[in-house]
Structure 1
Amino acid sequence: MTYKTILLVVGISQLEDDLRAAADLCASEGAHLSVLVSKIATLPPMGDLAAISAAWIDSRDGDMEQLRQSVREAREILGSAGISYDVVGRYSETMRLGQDVGERAWYADVTLVGTSLRVDDLLRRGVIEGALFYSARPVLLAANLRSVTLEPKNVLLAWNSTIESARAARESLDMMQNAEGVHLVLVDPKTKNGEEPGVDVATYLARHGVKVAVDQLASAGRPVEEVLAQHARDTSADLIVIGAYGHSRIRERVFGGVTKSMIDAPMLPVLMVR
């Protein structure tokens, strides 16, 4: 699809680099940049009610002022960028964070998550899960937003015959059509992938003009994410496309998983679709 609105979610600190990188990306794509500055609301402490009220109110007032200041800073930075943009701030209760992010993402084509959220892991994870589970839009993660492109030359598409991977393939179709090459990767393919694993989806992509090669890889006991990362390096991929949370979030958190690994340490830009 054509990206005309890009949502960038940042925290209240260390946001300048992400803002400037996202602004440059939008300038190159002719896209509108929508910025959500997010802060998790301070919960009331346990103890004496009178003391709680005063301390809690003071803390929340301080948080709100920081949020307003960050919104002003973001507008000042983008004011000279020469792009179309909007900036809003949200002070979200923990249980409401995902919905607040998801509702903003409804009106964007993709949600960018960069480095500024790494200073607050709870916020970062809530933002990513909110965008994935509440918006039906893709999430683009990167360790450095300067490495992000919406016109990748080489794409690694991870395929495991799930609805999530099917959505990921469809969501990234335009990018894959314009890429020089796409590696459709199956790690330890099972029988449900068909008599010749990967051929059906490769044929589908080829009908859309995608220059696709099917790579069946054996894990040899290594984690799937490690196999994917190594193959991305071997094929000079500049984007990994993957379906997110094929298992429940609880199972991913307890036992780990490909989604968790990609979220925690993206070695290159990763487009995730739920």
Structure 2
Amino acid sequence: MKSVLLHVYDDDALDDRLQVALDICRTFDAHLTCLQVTPYNAYVSFEPLGGVYTQAAVLESVREREDEVRKRIEVRLGQGDVRWDWIAADGPVVQTLVSASALSDLLVISQFPGSGDAVSQPLPIVDEVAVHAACAVLIVPSGVSAFDAGSPAVIGWNASPEAANALRNALPILRAASSVHIVSVGENGDEFPQVAANTYLSRHGVASDLHALSTSAKSAGGVLEDFATRRAASCLVMGAYGRSRFRETLLGGVTRDLLRTSRIPLLLSH
């Protein structure tokens, strides 16, 4: 893991996800790219007859705020020991982040809390980014301001292609972890085979323990998070939206639930 991409946006969680990204870069001697995206289309208005104009005063205020954020973050980065660069871009946030992820190993964004001050909270982009990013995506929950790659890691396993992608993309972090736990959750506790994942990791020098858990009174997402919490895991590795996203919306799903509620960082791939 040598190239880490960080979403820069002036929200309440920026400093926390910046620190998480810096911790990861120090652990793996990685380069940090700070990507600050201005959603230019949000400040453009369309007249009924086809004319387009920019709300100049609003855009100028946005630029000034972004400049302040950049100066503040650059001062902090200049005092550290991590190699970094800064990219400023205009355009749709999700599309810009996804495009930049093509040659990144990890993209760090914040969890969308879904409540609170709409101005200061992270953007609601986690669903789209997790599905379309070309690299692993680390979702940092509110209040998480550090990442210890030497802590245990938990893998939520259901033998899907998405889970397999997550497993492969997480290899650097799994190698650094003090222990690795492959967890499947089903009504009978043995719904999904885990041996193939265990074998794959062993070929890459990663020892792992297998766990088959039942859902009992909790959802699969709740069972996974409780398991990861008890083991003080640094992150929960899992595939993003293993079923169609339409069915996830109608029926619920582990990805959707954890994206909203997890207090543990989620390392996702689709």
Indicate whether the TM-score tops 0.5: yes
Residue 172 of structure 1 corresponds to: 170
Contact 1:158 1:184 in 2 (8 A): yes
2:157 to 156, 159, 162: 159
Task: Find out whether 1:225 has 2:224 as its counterpart.
Answer: no
TM superposition shift of 1:4: 1.2
Matches within 5 A, 1:228-243: 228-243=224-239
Kindly indicate which of the two structures has a greater share of residues assigned to helix.
1
2:182 is paired with a residue whose SS is strand
For structure 1, which runs of at least 5 residues remain unmatched after alignment?
none
Query: Partners of 2:122 and 2:145 in 1: how far apart?
Result: 22
TM superposition shift of 1:79: 1.8
Change (3 A) 1:9 1:27: same
Contact 1:115 1:145 in 2 (8 A): no
Matches within 5 A, 1:23-42: 23-41=22-40, 42=42
Change (3 A) 1:121 1:63: closer
Residue 86 of structure 2 corresponds to: 87
Residue 138 of structure 1 corresponds to: 136
1:164 is paired with a residue whose SS is helix
2:87 is paired with a residue whose SS is strand
Query: Partners of 2:16 and 2:200 in 1: how far apart?
Result: 39
TM superposition shift of 1:232: 1.4
1:80-109 Cα distance to aligned partner (Å, 9 max, x none): 2232111222333xxx32210112222321
1:159-190 Cα distance to aligned partner (Å, 9 max, x none): 11210001111112233234332221111178
Contact 2:182 2:208 in 1 (8 A): yes
2:7 is paired with a residue whose SS is strand
TM-score, with structure 1 as normaliser? 0.80
Task: Find out whether 1:200 has 2:196 as its counterpart.
Answer: yes
Residue 184 of structure 1 corresponds to: 182
Query: Partners of 1:161 and 1:249 in 2: how far apart?
Result: 18
Query: Partners of 2:70 and 2:43 in 1: how far apart?
Result: 22
Task: Find out whether 1:256 has 2:255 as its counterpart.
Answer: no
1:112-146 Cα distance to aligned partner (Å, 9 max, x none): 124799866996332x3454344320111222453
Contact 2:131 2:241 in 1 (8 A): no
Matches within 5 A, 1:108-127: 108-114=104-110, 124-126=123-125
Change (3 A) 1:84 1:264: same
1:206-235 Cα distance to aligned partner (Å, 9 max, x none): 333322222111112421101101111233
For structure 2, which runs of at least 5 residues remain unmatched after alignment?
none
**RMSD of Structure 2 on Structure 1 (CA):** 3.4
Change (3 A) 1:187 1:16: closer
Task: Find out whether 1:8 has 2:6 as its counterpart.
Answer: yes
Change (3 A) 1:79 1:134: same
Structure 2 counterpart of 1:110, one-letter code: L
The percentage of counterpart residues that share the same residue type is 25
Structure 1 counterpart of 2:98, one-letter code: G
Task: Count residues in correspondence.
Answer: 264
Matches within 5 A, 1:47-66: 53=53, 56-66=55-65
Query: Partners of 2:94 and 2:197 in 1: how far apart?
Result: 32
TM-score, with structure 2 as normaliser? 0.81
TM superposition shift of 1:46: 8.0
Change (3 A) 1:193 1:207: farther
1:41-92 Cα distance to aligned partner (Å, 9 max, x none): 425568888xx957x2322232233223322332232122232111222333
Query: Partners of 2:93 and 2:104 in 1: how far apart?
Result: 17
Query: Partners of 2:172 and 2:20 in 1: how far apart?
Result: 22
